């Protein structure tokens, strides 16, 4: 197997990830709609807008990464940045789901804010890793 065959598969990773996030956004939207049917008329903005984390933070971000820097998947730090960023988006989405459930149930928890803080930090660390990788690629090429 040649190196060019491996590089072709790697550059498609952001597009595949964007499609997975699009499916996750659709699933989150569906969960919010079904949960709303059984909420006895009580709604929660956290539950209603939960699908935006995977849609904007996942699909849009990875489509932009694919358009702006298609070879980003070839950098050595891509797997670490990828995992950090995805963990951040997942944490933000789950935190929004839990906050929505607590709001609809009429209770609260002081720990839901931790989901936002930790998710934001993880996503920011992953995004920084993507930017550092893009900067190193730019400096490495003449």
pLDDT, tens digit (0-9, with 9 covering 90-100), for 49-74: 999 999 999 999 999 988 988 777 88
Helix 78-105 and helix 13-37, axial crossing angle in degrees, nearest 10: 10
Residue 138 parent element (H or E): helix 112-140
This prediction's pTM:
0.85
86-118: per-residue pLDDT in tens?
999 999 999 999 999 999 999 989 999 999 999
Q: Spell out the residues 6+ positions from residue 84 whose beta carbon is closer than 8 angstroms to its own.
A: 122, 123, 125, 126, 129
């Amino acid at each position: 197997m040649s190196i060019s065959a491996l590089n072709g598969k790697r550059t498609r990773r952001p597009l595949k990830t964007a499609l997975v996030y699009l499916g996750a956004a659709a699933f989150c939207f569906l969960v919010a709609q079904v949960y709303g049917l059984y909420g006895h008329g009580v709604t929660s903005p956290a539950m209603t807008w939960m699908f935006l984390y995977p849609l904007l933070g996942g699909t849009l971000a990875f489509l932009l990464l694919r358009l702006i820097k298609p070879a980003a998947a070839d950098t050595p730090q891509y797997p670490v940045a990828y995992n950090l960023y995805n963990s951040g988006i997942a944490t933000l989405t789950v935190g929004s789901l839990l906050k929505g459930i607590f709001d609809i149930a009429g209770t609260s928890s002081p720990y839901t804010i931790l989901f936002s803080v930790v998710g934001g930090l993880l996503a920011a660390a992953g995004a920084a890793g993507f930017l550092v990788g893009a900067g190193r690629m730019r400096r490495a090429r003449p």
